[in-house]
Copies of this chain bind each other. A is one copy, B any other.
Amino acid sequence: MASKTIADELAKKQKEISVAEFFEKNKHILGFDNPSRSLLVCVKEAVDNSLDACEEANMLPDIAVEVRQVQGHEDEYTVLVEDNGPGIVKNQMGKVFGKLLYGSRFHAIRQSRGQQGIGISAAVMYGQISTGKATRILSKISPDEPAYDVELIIDTKKNEADVKKMEVILWEGKDHGTRVEITLIGKYKRGKASVYDYMKSTSIVNPHALFTLKEPDGTLNTFDRVADQMPKKCEEIKPHPLGIELGTFLNMCRSTQSYKLTSFLVNEFSRVSYRTARDITEAAGVSENMKPQDVTIEQARSMLEAIKNVKIMAPPTDCLSPIGDMLIRKGLRKEIDSKFCYTVTREPKVFGGTPFLVEAGLVYGGELDPQEPIRILRFANRVPLMFQQGGCAMTHAIEEMNWRNYGFEQPGGSGIPRGPAMVLVHIAATNVPFTSEAKEAVADVPELIGEVQNALKDCARRLKTHINKREKLTKVREKYDIIQKILPEIANKTAKMLNLPVPNIDNVITQIMNIIHVDSKVEYAKVNDQSVTSVEIWVTNYTPQERSMVLLCRVPDTLVAKASPTPSKIEGGFIHWDLKTLEPSKRIILRFDLMGLERGDYEDTELYYSRAKGEVVGADPA
């Protein structure tokens, strides 16, 4: 008999590792690396699940969170999260809470907060590892059904729930919903990266949800619902062909039910019509009628190459849910008040077959310290990311841009710039490429980094224009103030000396100033319980000639009332006024009201002009 080799000895040690065992040993991968973060991760997983479930069920979410300190143990807390969502059917409870890599959102191509089938089970596991205690779940799926009260732990060797208790109960006063109670070692704090901070940020980008947070000291915080409609539901889509991996494509070819290659392409991908499918097969040099199952590796490669070159529409937007201009401004304003705030929502793009879009906001000035690094607020799929900032692609995108072009300090042209600014970046995708299952940092996918930089450059460019405009307006104002002081004096004195009437010096002023001056004022008030934002725009012709111009003012997506004079049109997010004849030294005042905004939603006008001769100060060329 052959003697045993070293390889035989080593082979004895080879073993299968259960997913639960793996994450039990490597819980830091899931975010449980220190007590205060662990507490927050637990709250986050439960709240994200509640939000996703309510949205799938088309119910306005009411989510109550409580963090309760366990008597006698200062590092032990119970996290209780209760929602009014659809509940979970009895025979799924064990799997949803007691099995890692089990879920409903992994296989669907649609934006959602949960995407891995890990989160809540990981929290259950961390609870039992750190305190030995089981997790309790209550679930009721309809007013006509009883509720189930379950206590379970995860058997990590088998990656299965070990149900310690299951009771049928009457959950009085509850029609439907889920309640989770997890006891874990944690640390409750306020301030940065805290449970309170997370809930506040989450409530801002989810205005349709009502949140309450009861803190360990008994303080009850309410984050009110401010919108009564559900956000537009994200539709599930088919994969987009651009950037799809070769192996994935081949798998799809092999397992499709379609008989013809073109039908396969049309049926299994989004944005592929028969026309497009034929363009692809033709460019790739393959027969459009061939059986997809017969496609070779080389043929697949040619098709993927063809897909890059054939014109295919960007993915539909209805699988994605951007936060939007208004809420991004709110998110930034929660941190700092400032007059300058610019936001941008980019068009959807694709990376590796995954549709995504980037939004960004930049706020400048106010009480921000010009010596400090700029603060960064990161969001992915409407969830605030509170950790691992240094490891996130959004941070890398910021570090690798040249901010000195926009007036920021950035020694060496790389790294986080310093200046009195804060940025918010949101990546929405049907599958966000996180660096780990903790879902706190986005991976360095080049298309993402590029789009984040594009979005921030949009904002920074506007900032630079705004700063230049402000400096220019300041100079103009100073010049004008001086003129306004001196000239009348000169006129008066000269007139007195010469014993002549005081001349009209308007002409002189217009000769010296020689600009069309545009200034504006915004006021917010509640009138008869209605929110009214009143805007006044002053256009003054400080030139010696009669002037005309078209003036545009950007308005948000809300009701515009009482615009006067009558605009030539209100279209595409702008009010257009056609100012036909403005005589020298004359001023025209344009007015309008915006209804239904909150204080601070609209603080500064964004003005553009076209078809004007001469220099315009206070508005940008359209």
Binding site for B on A (CB under 8 A): 2, 5-8, 10-11, 13-19, 21-22, 24-26, 28-29, 33-34, 37, 53, 56-57, 73, 86-89, 91-92, 95-96, 99, 101-108, 116-117, 128-133, 141-142, 144-145, 176, 185, 245-248, 250, 297, 300-301, 371-373, 388-392, 395-396, 399, 411-412, 415, 418, 431, 433-438, 441, 443-446
Contact = CB atoms under 8 A, between A and B. Distances in A.
Given A13-B108, A443-B28, A444-B34, A22 B103 contact: no
B436 A435 contact: yes
27 contacts: A2-B142, A5-B142, A6-B86, A7-B86, A7-B142, A10-B86, A11-B88, A11-B92, A13-B105, A14-B96, A16-B101, A18-B101, A19-B19, A22-B116, A22-B117, A25-B431, A128-B247, A131-B246, A132-B247, A132-B301, A133-B297, A185-B246, A388-B391, A390-B392, A391-B392, A391-B435, A435-B436
Contacts of A250: 132
A24 B389 CA distance: 25
Given A11-B91, A14-B92, A435-B436, 10 more contacts: A5-B142, A6-B57, A14-B104, A15-B102, A17-B101, A29-B434, A33-B444, A132-B246, A132-B250, A388-B391
A195 B292 CA distance: 38
Contacts of A446: 34
B106 A5 contact: no
Given A86-B6, A130-B246, A435-B438, A101 B11 contact: no
A14 B102 contact: yes
Given A57-B6, A86-B10, A132-B300, A26 B107 contact: no
Given A10-B86, A92-B11, A117-B17, A106 B57 contact: no
Contact of A132 (B13, B297, B373): B297
Given A34-B444, A245-B129, A412-B372, A14 B95 contact: yes
Contacts of A104: 10, 13-15
B130 A247 contact: yes
Contacts of A95: 14, 16
Contacts of A53: 10
Identify the interface centre among A131, A412, A435, A444: most chain B CB within 10 Å of its CB.
A435
Contacts of A7: 86-89, 141-142, 176
Report copies per complex: 2
Given A19-B101, A245-B130, A247-B128, A433 B10 contact: no
Given A14-B92, A34-B445, A108-B13, A129 B248 contact: yes
Nearest to A143: B5
A276 to B, nearest CB: 23
B19 A131 contact: no
A144 B5 CA distance: 10
A436 B437 contact: yes
B29 A131 contact: no
A580 to B, nearest CB: 55
A26 B433 contact: yes
A521 to B, nearest CB: 38
A581 to B, nearest CB: 56
A29 B436 contact: yes
A159 to B, nearest CB: 10
Give me the 3 closest cross-chain CB pairs, A-B, nearest first. A391-B391, A390-B390, A436-B436
Contacts of A435: 28-29, 388, 391, 435-436, 438, 441
Contacts of A29: 434-437, 443
Given A132-B247, A144-B2, A372-B412, A102 B390 contact: no
A415 B86 contact: no
Nearest to A2: B144
A131 B247 contact: yes
B8 A89 contact: yes
Contacts of A248: 24, 129
Contacts of A28: 433-435, 443, 445
